[in-house]
Amino acid sequence: MGADFSQPQRQSSIGILVMFFYTLQQYARALWPMIVIWIFKFDEVNKLYFFVGMVAIFVSIGVVSYLKYLNFTFFLDAENEEFVITDGVLNKTKTAIQLRKIQQVNINQSFLQKLIGVYELDVDTAGSNKKEGAIKAVSHELALELKFRLLENEELKSAIGTEETSLEETEQKLFEAAHPFIKISFLSLLKVGVTSNYGRSIALLVIFFSTIYENFQNFGDESNVYKEKVGSYIDKNLVLQTILISIAFLFGIVLVINVIRIVFKYYNYKITRQRGSLLLSFGLLNTKSTIIKPEKVQITTIRRNYFQKKLGILEMKIRQATSGEKEERKSVIEIPGCSENERDSILKLLFHQIPEKGVMLLPNFRKLIFSIFLSIGLPLLGFMAIGYWLEPVFFEYSYVVPFYVVIIGLIQYFKFINNRLFIHDNFIIKQSGAWDISNDIIEPSKIQAITTSQLFWHKKLNIGSITLHTAGGNIAFQLGNYLILKQQVNLWLYKIETSDSNWM
Q: What residue spans of 72-166 are helical by DSSP H?
A: 111-116, 140-151, 153-158
pLDDT block averages, 10 residues each, the chain of length 504: 76 81 76 66 68 81 85 87 86 84 80 84 69 80 82 49 47 54 87 77 61 58 50 57 75 81 89 78 84 85 92 91 55 86 90 91 94 93 86 80 92 95 94 94 91 92 94 91 93 83 60
**Percent of the chain at pLDDT exceeding 90:** 26
Distances in whole angstroms, Cα of residue 215 to Cα of each of 185, 209, 235: 44, 10, 20
Do the bridges between strand 277-282 and strand 287-292 make them parallel or antiparallel, or are there none, so unpaired? antiparallel
Distances in whole angstroms, Cα of residue 72 to Cα of each of 97, 137, 148, 350, 501: 15, 11, 21, 36, 36
Q: What is the pLDDT of residue 484?
A: 93
Alpha-carbon radius of gyration of the chain: 29
Strand partners, 85: 74, 95
| Edge-to-edge strand ranges of the sheet holding 133-138 | 133-138, 119-125, 102-109, 287-292, 277-282, 269-274, 182-184
Strand partners, 334: 317
| Edge-to-edge strand ranges of the sheet holding 449-453 | 449-453, 463-470, 473-481
| The model's pTM | 0.75
Give the separation between CA 335 and CA 138, rounded to whole angstroms.
26
Strand partners, 320: 297
The dihedral region occupied by 395, where left means phi > 0, alpha psi between -120 and 50, and beta the remainder, is alpha
CB 357 within 8 A of CB 441: no
Q: What is the pLDDT of residue 155?
A: 45
| Count of Cβ atoms closer than 10 Å to residue 275 Cβ | 14
Instruction: Dump pLDDT digits (tens) for 28-84.
Output: 776 666 666 666 666 666 667 777 877 888 888 888 888 888 888 898 888 888 889
Q: What is the pLDDT of residue 432?
A: 95
| Count of Cβ atoms closer than 10 Å to residue 350 Cβ | 21
Q: What is the pLDDT of residue 383?
A: 86
Do the bridges between strand 269-274 and strand 93-98 make them parallel or antiparallel, or are there none, so unpaired? unpaired
Do the bridges between strand 314-320 and strand 333-338 make them parallel or antiparallel, or are there none, so unpaired? antiparallel
Give the separation between CA 297 and CA 300, rounded to whole angstroms.
7
CB 272 within 8 A of CB 179: yes
Q: What is the pLDDT of residue 211?
A: 62
Strand partners, 292: 278
